């Protein structure tokens, strides 16, 4: 007997697309072909579905995911797009270019999809099946490459099944991916466009449209400078303002408690990641929990965030990785 349900192999026809869209809307994971590589899709507004993406991939930490949209209007409803973004979108979308932009204030995308960042990578893929699927779902679809963590990006449905068969609900088979390398990731949140990952759209094409693109050294320098201020923090990730204390077995009234399972008594504020001790639910609520305790703690004058122990298994690895970064000692800012 199998210990996991069979992954459905869907044809990219009307029935297959409808089935894939229904599964995604129901919170299930569906891999689908794009012009670059196959993506492992989840409804980006559903934090639990996004958490299952990390679980299926077996990622030991949370990476921010690219959100896929059927057109630029839909994408730019969720981020703050400037003139540069609009010009690139007009000429390069649909296509293998992902733009990192500030989240819009009312952005409905789950914080976990962006790994807690204030920014979001958005893209409109150039593949008829992917676009048809995105239109049918009518929600942003978060999709990393559909491989197990550490594996190579899949460019056929068979590759996807090799790595993720039995771990995801379905694969929409739209044939081999024509581009075969991932999208170019361009950060537009700084003073000038910054190349985070080279990919299917060439830097030359981007520079012809919007001028010089920064890459390499300046970013490394910026990272080093920021790391100096907050050693141990994953630089671009959300860091709570309050200090974080891990593995708490008691809690004081001057502390906010990030609970897992039945909460410890006596905290000044409580956010429970999962009353039932469910790691997928906890992952889905992690970034909301940190932000919410940070805000409540500041409002109530609390001193720190105490975190109950979380098992180091399954998604617990990624949760603990993130919490350890949040708890790492910080140098005084001069």
- Residue from 91, 197, 245, 330 touching ligand TXA (CB under 6 A): that is 197
d(CA 246, CA 305): 9
Interaction between residue 58 and ligand TXA (CB under 6 A): no
Least Å distance, CB 50 to ligand TXA, is 12
Only segment of 182-190, 208-216, 304-312, 320-328 that touches ligand TXA (CB under 6 A): 182-190
Interaction between residue 145 and Mg ion (CB under 5 A): yes
d(CA 38, CA 127): 11
Site map (CB under 6 A) of ligand TXA, residues 217-246, x = contact: ------------------------------
d(CA 175, CA 305): 49
Interaction between residue 70 and ligand TXA (CB under 6 A): no
Interaction between residue 45 and ligand TXA (CB under 6 A): no
Residues β-bridged to residue 257? 270, 306
Interaction between residue 174 and ligand TXA (CB under 6 A): no
Interaction between residue 185 and ligand TXA (CB under 6 A): yes
Least Å distance, CB 268 to ligand TXA, is 32
8 burial (CB, 10 Å; 0-12 / 13-18 / 19+) is: middle
Q: Which residue is nearest to ligand TXA (CB)?
A: 39
The DSSP string of 283-328 is HHHHHHHHHHHHHHHHHHT--EEEE----SSTTHHHHHHHHHHHHS
316 burial (CB, 10 Å; 0-12 / 13-18 / 19+) is: middle
- Residue from 21, 51, 53, 65 touching ligand TXA (CB under 6 A): that is 65
Q: Which of Mg ion, ligand TXA, none does residue 49 bind (CB under 5 to 8 Å by kind)?
A: none
Q: Which of ligand TXA, Mg ion, none does residue 317 bind (CB under 5 to 8 Å by kind)?
A: none
Interaction between residue 114 and ligand TXA (CB under 6 A): yes
Burial 104-122 (b: 16+ CB within 10 A, else e): eeebebbbbbbbbbebbbb
Interaction between residue 100 and ligand TXA (CB under 6 A): yes
Burial 10-40 (b: 16+ CB within 10 A, else e): bebeeebbebbbebbeeebbbbbbbbbbbbb
- Which stretches of the chain bind ligand TXA, using CB under 6 A? 34, 36-37, 39, 63-66, 96, 98, 100, 114, 117, 119-121, 125, 143-145, 182-183, 185, 196-197
């Amino acid at each position: 007997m199998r210990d996991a349900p069979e992954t459905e192999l869907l044809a990219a026809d009307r029935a297959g697309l409808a089935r894939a869209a229904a599964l995604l809307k129901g919170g299930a994971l569906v891999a689908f072909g794009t012009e670059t590589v196959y993506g492992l899709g989840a409804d980006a507004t559903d934090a639990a579905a996004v958490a299952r993406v990390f679980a299926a991939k077996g990622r030991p930490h949370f990476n921010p995911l690219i959100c896929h949209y059927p057109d630029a209007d839909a994408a730019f409803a969720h981020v703050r797009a400037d003139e540069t973004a609009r010009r690139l979108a007009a000429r390069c979308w649909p296509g293998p270019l992902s733009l990192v932009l500030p989240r819009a204030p009312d952005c409905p995308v789950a914080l976990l999809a962006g790994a807690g960042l204030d920014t979001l990578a958005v893209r409109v893929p150039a593949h008829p099946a992917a676009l048809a699927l995105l239109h049918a779902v009518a929600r942003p679809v978060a999709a990393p490459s559909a491989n197990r963590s550490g594996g190579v990006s899949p460019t056929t449905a068979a590759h996807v099944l090799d790595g993720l068969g039995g771990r995801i609900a379905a694969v929409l088979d739209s044939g081999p991916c024509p581009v075969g390398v991932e999208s170019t990731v361009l950060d537009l949140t700084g003073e000038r466009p910054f190349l985070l990952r080279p990919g299917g759209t060439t830097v030359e094409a981007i520079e012809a449209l919007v001028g010089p693109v920064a890459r390499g050294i300046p970013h490394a320098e910026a990272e080093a400078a920021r790391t100096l201020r907050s050693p141990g923090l994953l630089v671009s990730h959300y860091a709570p303002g309050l200090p974080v204390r891990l593995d708490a077995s008691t809690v004081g009234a001057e502390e906010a408690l990030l609970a897992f399972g039945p909460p410890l008594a006596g905290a000044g504020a409580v956010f429970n990641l999962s009353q039932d001790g469910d790691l997928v639910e906890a992952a889905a609520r992690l970034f909301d929990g940190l932000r919410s305790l940070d805000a409540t703690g500041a409002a109530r004058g609390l001193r720190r965030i105490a975190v109950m122990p979380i098992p180091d298994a399954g998604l617990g690895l990624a949760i603990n990785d993130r919490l350890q970064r949040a708890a790492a000692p910080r140098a005084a800012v001069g």
